[in-house]
Amino acid sequence: LASTEFDLTKVAEGQQVTIKWRGKPLFVRNRTKAEIAKAVKDDHADMKDPATDASRVKPGKAQWLIVGGNCTHLGCVPTFGGGEYGGWFCPCHGSVYDTSGRIRKGPAPKNLVVPDYAFLSDTKVKIG
Ligand code: FES
């Protein structure tokens, strides 16, 4: 299946861009230090799909969170900035994801999916 390259200079700190990959949305988020700190602080909180924040990003690149843009409940596209964990909120049935894209509340069973990707340089990633 096709892989795609993405230029990270298009995403300012605190912003995200949604790209289409394999017919589905993918969020490429440039996280602020506060977003990262919030995610790390909750690493050992009680979660449905436990994962550390570090396991969801590449070493030394914690600002870049790349996750599938479909809610793991029934596939709606969550919006950033909603919900009490500072991350994404799914308007369909109220699932709440944190700033690491981990499911924290609501019917979704799993975290937002981290695709296979690699940094080609500091400003370019290859997804897939
Ligand atoms: Fe997101 Fe149901 S599809 S909560």
Q: Is ipTM strictly over 0.85? A: yes
**Cα–Cα dist 116/103, whole Å:** 19
Helices within the chain (DSSP H only):
33-41
Q: Which residue among 24, 67, 71, 113 has the greatest number of ligand 1 atoms within 8 angstroms of its CB, and so is best to mutate?
A: 71
- Alpha-carbon distance 29 to 35, whole Å? 11
**What is the rounded CA–CA span in Å between residue 104 and residue 90?**
12
- Report the separation in Å between the CA atom of 97 and the middle of ligand 1, taken as the mean of its atom positions: 11
60-110 pLDDT tens trace: 999 999 999 999 999 999 999 989 999 999 999 999 999 999 999 999 999
Q: Could you identify the residue written with the tokens 């979704």? A: 108
pTM of the model: 0.96
- CB of 99 closer than 6 angstroms to any ligand 1 atom: no
Tell me, yes or no, if 44 is annotated catalytic.
Answer: no
Residues 6+ apart with CB under 8 A from 39: 31, 53, 98, 99, 100, 102
**Which residue, 72, 91, 50, is CA-closest to 80?**
91
Catalytic residue among 93, 109, 120, 124: 93
Q: Which of 99, 104, 103 is nearest to 112 (CA)?
A: 103
